[in-house]
């Protein structure tokens, strides 16, 4: 309420109260007589739900008068006040977003503005949930009282940028979003999602490395401040003795040590001494120690100023840390969606959201994820587990930010670590954690490495067009090249490794095809401006590869009168390629490189010229010269009537005689004491450049590295200097820190606001590395790993889709031969797998060079891909056919499919694929444990016999064959013999059949012992069923010469069979009955 009025306040009696009562109520509602005009007719003293505010220097918008009036006009208005604001004069304000319910709010207790700080809901017990009351999203404005005014305005642009950067870091550290800082009125604006404590402590002000300002107050202001403090104590009922404070400033009179009769202050100090900690992440103890230091500073200042001690309203950092803990269950809000270019590339930016609910069921989505440099800010999705009350923290929670191991909550099923395809599941702090939010170990964070960031548009949606243009089409082009095949032996299989071959004569055509693929990406909708800059850089890189490493077929003579003539001829795009002599090829390559440089910096020159004023003609000419646009520079000088300058410009970069003459003229002027103040500085810069003195021409000007290289080549070095010498000269100046660093394109073009995580001394632009490779082929092996890092061409640390092709083509033309670049190969493999392109991932693996120190590397990686991504390639016939055409052994594919089907319970398909891959032992195991018994119990005897006999051919390679599948084969043979079939001709007597059955029962019992717990109950039931059937057939096979002894032997065999006890007891009864009958008849003695 900024309204000020001199109108008197008219007080009238309202229903049920006197004017004095109304005035008392108005005072409590913070309606100052000097600042507002109260209309008693519009204000109802019975509306007790209006917010309470009694401090004179605090205000609200809408004012209490406006709230009352609007409530009269629109009932319920106070429950939905839009853009409600609370503020304190010269301290700041809070504007709450949306509609706010202000009824019954005691603003005296809820909102507290201190110097450079604001606290809302100081009492954690009274704080409502997020989104209720004033604990909601808002825009905060704080008026900083430091640094001193003269120090602030004395800061230059660089100093002010550093100060604002520190404010941004402080804002983000507290979980807020920085909006602006106005140096003229010292207003610091930021947005918060909910409230606790925001602003600066005294230690924070010291960290800003600026001198605190001493606010000069006159006697009147000082007395007014004293009266204000007394008034607050009076209104709050605080005119009592101050309770004792801890070093942190917290009131300890109601703490547990106080109730126990102990000194709370000494207990706090004793706790700090007994439990020291050095961890930066410890919130409680660290804040306590910092506040203790703050208390000492405050005490010294208080003693010096002879002011009263801290009041209870000055809450300590210890209390505020406890307040912050209560909000750590809720992740920090991400305000807006930052650009991928908003910060420097690092490992933290490689994480994006992984939403389980959006994945379809099935093994591929559980194992294969297709979802962090910091080009994309990480976002996490949490799966709630058992929540632990942060008020009951343990020492483990204080020391490691993890209350307890999440596995204790989630049981044996919980696992933490890296999953396939870049999935990270863990219970620690999320990657994007600014230190103010504490992790809960009962919450499992699932984060996904953003391998597919390069195929996402501005809305972070995957574009199928980008998948085709950035991965599929380039790989198809790579596959169409001539390849040299090398076979390596992997066990009993041969694996065909591939290596592309490309002659230098065909290199221009190959580069042109790659450029066409890149140019097609410009037509894809939804690409951001930074992506287009990167695409343009890729085009220029392919052009540079063509310039530096291609060759031309020599033929008849080509008269080269001057190098400039060659430049002009090759610059004309309408001319056909010329056949040149070998002696002229270095000059032609130099001229083509010069044309490449001109094209590379053309847009920089145009942008620089567009910012010039009409009168800056000389600066305009100089900018044109930095891009070697000589025709435009000469024309501009002639149009301005400066014919002499135009003549000089027409000879720029020509013979060394002209440069020498210009340098001599400048030296004569200096020796004769010419006053250069009568010559424009920009004209002198042109003269210095024409004289070949590029350092004198640049002075303190900042120029990008490509234009600096161009000035060195065009105006300083002789026109017949070879390209390797030019590059060596630039490298020498770079080592002397004279030439600008050849920084990567995303820094050079200003795509990143900050690039503090990139060391420009390590990560140079890929174009510069190509120049070094051309100039020093034999000395570049040390920089190849850095050269083929993604940082040399893009801000996405995980994107290797184009750098892999550039490496491959350079190797194909023989530019270098270096086999230790497996990181680049595997990075592209990871990207392809993330995009579900398993067949192309295997193709890349086959293009990896062979290393005898790591035998079996290719086979291991390919098998890993086949096993982990089996569902993908097996469900796409095109991928499966592609893999087979690459020469991958079908046995590896069948083994992967067998594992896949076995995992999902399709044992029959798993058995079939194990047979196909000749894995007889595993097939036998599945047959015995999972297949045979089900077929037997379902009476599918013919199918069971067929499967068992398919394994019998390889029984010599199968352990425990006689105790596994052999049992079923022997059962059918023995059963046929007992039935009278001619399945086992050798069993021509009862005794032999009895012996065969006894051996069969012995094998059944031994099989049960050998397989043990591996056999399910159904297998045991199958064995029992087979034994019982054999017993019945054996008893029925009496024969003509069957004797009592034969029958007793059969009973003895049957009693040893693995049959149920009730059946065994029945057979035993039959044996006893038969034995009794034989004794009674006297037959037993005769037979025996």
The pLDDT of residue 790 is above 80: yes
pLDDT on residue 447:
78
pLDDT on residue 606:
92
pLDDT on residue 69:
87
Contacts 24+ apart (CB under 8 A), 26-29: 27/54, 28/52, 28/54, 29/53, 29/64
How far apart CA 202 and CA 211 sit, in angstroms, is 11
pLDDT on residue 789:
85
Residues β-bridged to residue 417: 425
φ, ψ of residue 271 in degrees (nearest 5): -65, -40
What SS3 state is found at 1045? helix
Strands in 58-61's sheet, in edge-to-edge order, are: 58-61, 85-88, 92-96, 138-143, 187-192, 177-182
The pLDDT of residue 344 is above 50: no
- Pick the closest to residue 1008 from 1022, 1028, 998 (CA basis): 1022
Instruction: Return the beta strands (E) in 121-238 as ranges.
Output: 138-143, 177-182, 187-192, 197-199
How far apart CA 198 and CA 111 sit, in angstroms, is 12
CB of 128 closer than 8 Å to CB of 87:
no
The pLDDT of residue 792 is above 50: yes
- The phi-psi region of residue 856 (left if phi > 0; otherwise alpha if psi is between -120 and 50; otherwise beta) is left
pLDDT on residue 942:
92
CB of 696 closer than 8 Å to CB of 688:
yes
Q: What percent of the chain has pLDDT over 70?
A: 68
Rg (CA), the chain: 44
pLDDT on residue 264:
62
CB of 441 closer than 8 Å to CB of 427:
yes
The pLDDT of residue 312 is above 50: no
How far apart CA 140 and CA 163 sit, in angstroms, is 19
pLDDT on residue 95:
93
Across the range 191-211, mean pLDDT stands at 66
Q: Decide: pTM greater than 0.75.
A: no
Determine how β-strand 417-419 pairs with β-strand 177-182. Answer: unpaired
How far apart CA 715 and CA 721 sit, in angstroms, is 11
Band of residue 509 on the pLDDT scale cut at 50, 70, 90: very high
Band of residue 87 on the pLDDT scale cut at 50, 70, 90: very high
How far apart CA 806 and CA 897 sit, in angstroms, is 35
How far apart CA 391 and CA 438 sit, in angstroms, is 12
Higher pLDDT, 702 or 713: 713
Band of residue 203 on the pLDDT scale cut at 50, 70, 90: low
CB of 214 closer than 8 Å to CB of 353:
no
The pLDDT of residue 794 is above 80: yes
Across the range 240-248, mean pLDDT stands at 40
The DSSP output letter for 91 is T
pLDDT tens, position by position, 724-777 = 999 999 999 998 989 999 989 988 888 765 444 444 446 889 999 999 998 876
pLDDT tens, position by position, 397-435 = 333 344 445 455 555 455 567 776 677 777 666 665 555
How far apart CA 709 and CA 715 sit, in angstroms, is 10
The pLDDT of residue 625 is above 90: yes
pLDDT tens, position by position, 813-859 = 988 887 778 889 999 999 999 999 999 999 999 999 888 888 889 99
The pLDDT of residue 243 is above 60: no
Q: Which stretch of DSSP H or E encloses residue 991?
A: helix 990-1011
How far apart CA 621 and CA 637 sit, in angstroms, is 8
Task: Give start and end residues of each alpha helix (H) in 4-114.
Answer: 19-28, 64-73, 107-110
pLDDT tens, position by position, 63-85 = 888 888 888 888 888 888 999 99
pLDDT tens, position by position, 8-38 = 333 333 333 333 343 333 333 333 333 333 3
pLDDT tens, position by position, 879-925 = 999 999 999 999 999 999 999 999 999 999 999 999 999 999 999 99
pLDDT on residue 433:
58
The DSSP output letter for 801 is T
CB of 743 closer than 8 Å to CB of 765:
yes
Higher pLDDT, 738 or 982: 738
The pLDDT of residue 217 is above 60: no
Count the neighbouring beta carbons within 10 Å of the beta carbon of residue 238: 12
φ, ψ of residue 282 in degrees (nearest 5): -75, 120
pLDDT on residue 299:
40
Higher pLDDT, 369 or 385: 385
């Amino acid at each position: 309420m900024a309204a000020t009025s001199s109108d008197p306040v008219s007080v009238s009696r309202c229903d049920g109260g006197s004017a004095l009562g109304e005035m008392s109520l108005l005072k409590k509602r913070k309606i100052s007589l000097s600042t507002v005009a109260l209309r008693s007719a519009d204000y109802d003293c019975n509306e007790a739900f209006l917010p309470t505010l009694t401090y004179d220097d605090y205000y609200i918008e809408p004012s209490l008068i406006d709230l009352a009036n609007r409530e009269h006009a629109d009932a319920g208005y106070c429950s939905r006040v839009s853009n409600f604001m609370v503020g304190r004069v010269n301290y700041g304000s809070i504007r709450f977003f949306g509609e706010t319910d202000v009824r019954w709010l005691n603003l005296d207790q809820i909102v507290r503005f201190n110097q450079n700080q604001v606290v809302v809901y100081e009492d954690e017990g009274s704080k409502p949930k997020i989104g209720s009351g004033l604990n909601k999203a808002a825009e905060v404005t704080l008026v900083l009282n430091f640094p001193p005014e003269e120090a602030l305005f004395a800061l230059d642009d660089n100093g002010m940028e550093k100060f604002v950067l520190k404010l941004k870091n402080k804002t983000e550290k507290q979980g807020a979003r920085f909006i602006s800082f106005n140096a003229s009125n010292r207003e610091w604006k930021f947005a918060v999602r909910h409230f606790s404590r925001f602003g600066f402590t005294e230690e924070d002000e010291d960290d800003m490395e600026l001198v605190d300002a001493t606010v000069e107050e006159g006697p009147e202001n000082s007395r007014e401040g004293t009266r204000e403090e007394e008034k607050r104590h009076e209104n709050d009922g605080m005119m009592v003795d101050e309770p004792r404070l801890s070093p942190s400033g917290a009131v300890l009179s109601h703490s547990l040590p106080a109730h126990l009769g102990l000194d709370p202050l000494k207990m706090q100090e004793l706790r700090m001494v007994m439990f020291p900690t050095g961890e930066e992440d410890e919130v409680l103890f660290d804040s306590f120690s910092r506040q203790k230091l703050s208390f000492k500073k405050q005490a010294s200042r208080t003693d010096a100023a002879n002011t009263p001690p801290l009041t209870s309203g000055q809450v300590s950092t210890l209390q505020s840390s406890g307040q912050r803990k209560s909000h750590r269950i809720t992740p920090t809000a991400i305000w807006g969606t930052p650009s991928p270019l908003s910060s420097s590339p690092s490992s933290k930016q490689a994480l994006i959201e992984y939403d389980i609910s959006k994945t379809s069921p099935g093994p591929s989505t559980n194992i294969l994820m297709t979802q962090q440099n910091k080009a994309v800010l990480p976002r996490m999705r949490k799966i709630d587990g058992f929540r632990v009350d942060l008020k009951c923290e343990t020492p483990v929670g204080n020391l490691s930010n993890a209350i307890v191991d999440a596995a204790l909550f989630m049981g044996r099923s919980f696992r933490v670590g890296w999953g396939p395809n870049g999935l990270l599941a863990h219970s620690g702090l999320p990657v994007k954690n600014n230190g103010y939010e504490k992790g809960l170990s009962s919450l499992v964070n699932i984060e996904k490495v953003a391998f597919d960031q390069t195929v996402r548009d501005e809305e972070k949606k995957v574009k199928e067009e980008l998948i085709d243009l950035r991965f599929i089409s380039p790989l198809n082009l790579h596959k169409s090249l001539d390849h040299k095949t090398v076979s390596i032996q992997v066990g009993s299989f041969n694996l065909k490794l591939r290596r592309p071959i490309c002659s230098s004569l065909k290199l221009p055509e190959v580069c042109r095809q790659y450029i066409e693929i890149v140019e097609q990406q410009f037509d894809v909708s939804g690409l951001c401006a930074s992506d287009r800059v990167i695409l343009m850089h890729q085009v220029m890189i392919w052009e540079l590869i063509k310039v530096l490493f291609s060759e031309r077929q020599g033929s008849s003579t080509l008269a080269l009168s001057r190098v400039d003539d060659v430049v002009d001829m090759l610059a004309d795009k309408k001319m056909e390629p010329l056949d040149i002599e070998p002696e002229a090829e270095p000059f032609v390559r130099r001229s083509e490189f010069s044309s490449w440089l001109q094209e590379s910096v053309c847009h920089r020159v145009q942008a620089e010229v567009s910012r010039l004023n009409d009168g800056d003609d000389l600066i305009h000419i100089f900018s044109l010269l930095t891009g070697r646009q000589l025709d435009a520079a000469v024309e501009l000088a002639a149009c301005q009537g400066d014919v002499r300058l135009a003549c000089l410009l027409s000879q720029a970069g020509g013979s060394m005689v002209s440069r020498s003459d210009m340098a001599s003229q400048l030296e004569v002027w200096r020796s004769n004491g010419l006053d250069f103040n009568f010559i424009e500085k920009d004209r002198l810069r042109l003269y210095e450049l024409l004289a070949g003195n590029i350092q004198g021409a640049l002075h303190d000007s900042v120029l990008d590295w490509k234009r600096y290289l161009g000035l060195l080549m065009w105006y300083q070095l002789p026109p017949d200097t070879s390209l390797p010498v030019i590059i060596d000269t630039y490298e020498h100046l770079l080592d002397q820190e004279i030439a600008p660093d050849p920084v990567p394109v995303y820094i050079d073009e200003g795509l990143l606001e900050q690039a503090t995580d990139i060391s420009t001394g390590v990560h140079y632009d890929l174009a510069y590395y190509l120049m070094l490779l051309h100039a020093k082929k034999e000395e570049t092996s040390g920089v190849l790993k850095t050269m083929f890092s993604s940082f040399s061409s893009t801000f996405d640390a995980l994107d290797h889709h184009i750098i892999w092709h550039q490496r491959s083509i350079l190797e194909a033309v023989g530019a270098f031969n270096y086999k230790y670049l497996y990181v680049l190969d595997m990075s592209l493999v990871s990207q392809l797998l993330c995009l579900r392109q398993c067949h192309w991932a295997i193709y890349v693996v086959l293009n990896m060079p062979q290393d005898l120190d790591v035998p079996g590397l290719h086979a291991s990686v390919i098998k890993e891909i086949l096993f982990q991504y089996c569902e993908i390639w097996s469900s796409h016939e095109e991928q499966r056919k592609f893999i087979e055409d690459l020469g991958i052994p079908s046995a590896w594919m069948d083994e992967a499919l067998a594992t896949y089907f076995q995992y999902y319970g399709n044992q029959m398909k798993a058995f079939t694929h194990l047979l196909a891959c000749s894995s007889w032992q595993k097939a036998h195991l599945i047959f015995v444990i999972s297949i045979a018994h089900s077929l037997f119990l379902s009476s599918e005897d013919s199918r069971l016999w067929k499967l068992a006999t398919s394994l019998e051919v390889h029984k010599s390679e199968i352990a425990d064959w006689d105790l596994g599948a052999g049992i079923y084969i022997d059962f059918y043979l023995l059963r046929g013999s007992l039935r009278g079939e001619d399945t086992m001709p050798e069993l021509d007597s009862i005794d032999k059949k009895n012996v065969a059955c006894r051996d069969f029962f012995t094998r059944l019992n031994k099989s049960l012992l050998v397989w043990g717990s591996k056999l399910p109950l159904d297998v045991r039931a199958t064995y029992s069923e087979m034994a019982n059937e054999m017993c019945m057939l054996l008893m029925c096979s009496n024969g003509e010469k069957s004797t009592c002894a034969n029958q007793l032997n059969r009973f003895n065999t049957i009693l040893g069979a693995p049959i149920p006890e009730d059946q065994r007891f029945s057979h035993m009864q039959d044996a006893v009955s038969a034995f009794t009958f034989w004794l009674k008849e006297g037959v037993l003695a005769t037979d025996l």
